[in-house]
Structure 1
Amino acid sequence: MTMTSTSTLRRPVAVARVAGLLYLVIIVAGVGGEALVRGPIAVAGDPSQTVANLVAAELPFRLSVMGDALMALADVALGVLLFFLLRPVSRVLSMMAMAFRLAQAAILGINLLNLLLAASFAGRGDPLAAAFLEAHGVGYDLGLLFFAINCVLVGALVYRAGFMPRAIGAALGLSGLVYFVGSTLRVVAPELAPAVAPAYALPLVAELAFCGWLLIRGVRTPSWRAAVGLPPAA
């Protein structure tokens, strides 16, 4: 083991807090861009009004695209850090969780092309801009299918870990089910999707709780060191 990796092993709380900061960036960028910028722009069934709204808010719209790009970048880094923190529980499951999170980040990153095309077509007054916005929504839900599996795996790892609260692990696991059902309905039966919208309150609370725990507490260091096989800190 190198000196750097040994030093990192001795600072799990610092790693956890960086992970918490990245999670906060993801939450703020993701919720802010969708709820505050793109949500008010799209008008269901009225492509012309959607185009007019997009043209009127082009700069905030493009900034929201950059915010989503930042979110995807943070997701990649967070996936790696959570693998580091959770691999003492199960190297295989933590690697699978990282893989699904990285797949989600890749899908969401590529999906940003739909937003850029929407802005480009709106600038020409072309109502196809609304179709690209809708395509982005579908692409986002496809990405969330991968994130749903990640949530179930991370939830199971946190629940089993002993160095993070079991309640957060259970909530994350249930959140994965909410994401999976909601995104599946958006793709195969869009008319039923609004019925599960209230259930998305659970993932919001669970992810905020996980983010807050990572930022404030990090991990229970003695339990984490024992899981890794390190002696208790002096």
Structure 2
Amino acid sequence: MRLKSRNARVAGIYYLLLAIAAPLRLIYIPSVLFVQGDATKTASNIAAHETLFRLGIVTDLFSGTIGIFLALALYRLLKDVDQKQAVLMVVLGVIPDAIYFFNVLNDAAALILVHGADFLSVFEKPQRDALAMLFLRMHGQEIAAAEILWGLWLFPLAILVYRSGFLPRFLGVWLAINGFAYLALSFTGLLLPQYEDVVSRIAFPALQGELAFMLWLLVMGAKDLPATRSNE
């Protein structure tokens, strides 16, 4: 297998692992355990499905780790296109991964409150449940903030893909649109949360840019150019 194609498929594998792991805590666990506006029911669900909730914490840590390897794999693939843009891509790509590690503290705090450890006996159970819900909400707000960085890192990646010559240009365009969609979702969630579901439905096709890019890396790889291209 040629070098470019091998590097592309390695990046695709990391992307696939991230796509498998991240939705567990991001989408599945909130949909089955969290009850909007009901702290007591949410706390009961977490206590009854503690293993699933803990698995969400583990997958957040796993996703953060894989995200770092993904950024480095894409740097190795695209650094010869434009090293400055590649470095910017890595910086913007790694910062959200740090948020994954920091964000597990909110879930850990919620789990401790749900358990009602002895040192928390000064709080009544409804108070502990409310505090647990608060930490879960903080987790969600940090994800909304991280979406800004999820969007920003796609812009240098889109430029690199578009200019590479060994990946299709339409993927670069789609990744840029995907970046704008993440920014729209983030600002809507932070400023106008009542419209978040509407914006999410509208933005859904744009958000498939990363999926298309991942599948192209896995299936098609990248073609080797006769000479290394470099942009100062």
Gaps of 5+ in 1: 1-9, 230-234
Q: 1:26 to 1:60 in 2, by over 3 A?
A: same
CA contact (8 A) 2:63 2:100 kept: no
Residue of structure 2 in register with 1:142 after alignment: 145
CA distances 1:146-197 after superposition (whole Å, capped 9, x unpaired): 1110012211211121111111111111011010111112112222322201
Residue type of the alignment partner of 2:19: I
Residue of structure 2 in register with 1:51 after alignment: 43
Residue of structure 2 in register with 1:215 after alignment: 218
Q: 1:37 to 1:86 in 2, by over 3 A?
A: same
Q: Distance in 2 between matches of 1:204 and 1:27?
A: 13
Q: Calculate the TM-score normalised by the size of structure 2.
A: 0.88
Task: State which of 94, 108, 122 in structure 1 corresponds to 2:100.
Answer: 108
CA contact (8 A) 2:82 2:230 kept: no
CA contact (8 A) 1:97 1:150 kept: yes
Q: Distance in 1 between matches of 2:110 and 2:65?
A: 22
Gaps of 5+ in 2: 117-124
Q: 1:31 to 1:131 in 2, by over 3 A?
A: same
CA contact (8 A) 1:38 1:61 kept: no
Structure 1 segments of 4 or more deviating over 3 A?
A: none
CA contact (8 A) 1:115 1:136 kept: yes
Q: Distance in 2 between matches of 1:65 and 1:154?
A: 28
Task: State which of 6, 25, 31 in structure 2 corresponds to 1:14.
Answer: 6
Q: Distance in 2 between matches of 1:173 and 1:59?
A: 38
CA contact (8 A) 2:178 2:208 kept: no
Q: 1:38 to 1:191 in 2, by over 3 A?
A: closer
Q: Distance in 2 between matches of 1:35 and 1:182?
A: 15
Q: Distance in 2 between matches of 1:33 and 1:218?
A: 29
Q: Distance in 1 between matches of 2:204 and 2:92?
A: 22
CA contact (8 A) 2:158 2:176 kept: yes
Q: Percent identity among equivalent residues?
A: 28
Residue type of the alignment partner of 1:86: L
Residue of structure 2 in register with 1:132 after alignment: 135
**Shift, 1:203, TM fit:** 4.7
Aligned length: 219
